[in-house]
Amino acid sequence: ETGVTQSPTHLIKTRGQQVTLRCSSQSGHNTVSWYQQALGQGPQFIFQYYREEENGRGNFPPRFSGLQFPNYSSELNVNALELDDSALYLCASSSTTGTGWYFGPGTRLTVL
Amino acid sequence: LAKTTQPISMDSYEGQEVNITCSHNNIATNDYITWYQQFPSQGPRFIIQGYKTKVTNEVASLFIPADRKSSTLSLPRVSLSDTAVYYCLVGPYRGVNFGNEKLTFGTGTRLTIIP
């Protein structure tokens, strides 16, 4: 059984650019959530997808968007990057059987 | 969701028992207390979950008093590899909700184990 994987590991972008982060869910999981973790802070919920539909969103602007694919992998897209978007972006997957959330190692995004 | 308060940081020596207390005065009847561990540049990892009294697993124990307004995570005989940030979460994270409800993290407790 493979765990949650994310790519890339690190990424450097400049202000105004767009970025796409990717996540592969743990085998058998059909729900995925994305979190943003600024340095020294706890993870903050961005949004959640279940069966390719967004079913929950945190306090993030529309330039943060996502996709979930039929194989339950997922993408996080961020447009018009700002310096404050520099953070560790975490993907977590789960199943509907209540076994909890399993987090990936994250993607470290730096915006210059 | 109930707000949680934890110490910002703690230090302990190897081999000792470490207790991290979390305050959650506004916990709701259907809320569970869940602890996560996070190493640098890794995602959080589930440690333990409980509703009341005491829960023990192979990693830790969780003590919850009758009023449930606080909880204590106990790590027995810590080693250097226990150096991490520990998060206390309070929410309806049980059964089918644990994997459906978003997780609300605070700032956590940074535990440093000293050789």
B99–A101 CB contact, under 8 Å: yes
pLDDT tens sequence across A54-106: 999 999 999 999 999 998 899 999 999 999 999 999 999 988 777 789 999 99
Confidence at B2, pLDDT banded by 50, 70, 90: low
Question: At residue A17, what are phi and psi to the nearest 5 degrees?
Answer: -75, 175
Residue bearing tokens 């729900």: A31
Q: Which of B41, B46, B106 sits opposite A100 (nearest CB)?
A: B46
With beta carbons less than 8 A apart as the criterion, state whether A103 and B45 touch.
yes
pLDDT tens sequence across B57-110: 999 999 999 999 999 999 999 999 999 999 999 988 876 677 778 888 989 999
CA-to-CA distance for B52 and B63, rounded, in angstroms? 8
Residue in chain A closest to B93 (alpha carbons) equals A100
Q: How far is A87 from chain B (nearest CA, A)?
A: 11
The whole-number pLDDT of residue A72 equals 87
> Beta partners for A21?
A76
Q: Chain A residues with CB inside 8 Å of B87's CB?
A: 42
pLDDT tens sequence across B4-39: 999 999 999 999 999 999 999 999 999 999 999 999
Q: Chain A residues with CB inside 8 Å of B98's CB?
A: 94, 98-101
Q: Chain B residues with CB inside 8 Å of A48's CB?
A: 102
Q: Is B104 on the interface with A (CB under 8 A)?
A: yes
With beta carbons less than 8 A apart as the criterion, state whether A111 and A79 touch.
no
Peptide bond into A70 cis (omega under 30): no
A42–B100 CB contact, under 8 Å: no
Q: Classify B90 as helix, strand or coil.
A: strand
Burial of A10: CB neighbours in 10 Å, binned 0-12, 13-18, 19+: exposed
Q: Chain A residues with CB inside 8 Å of B45's CB?
A: 103
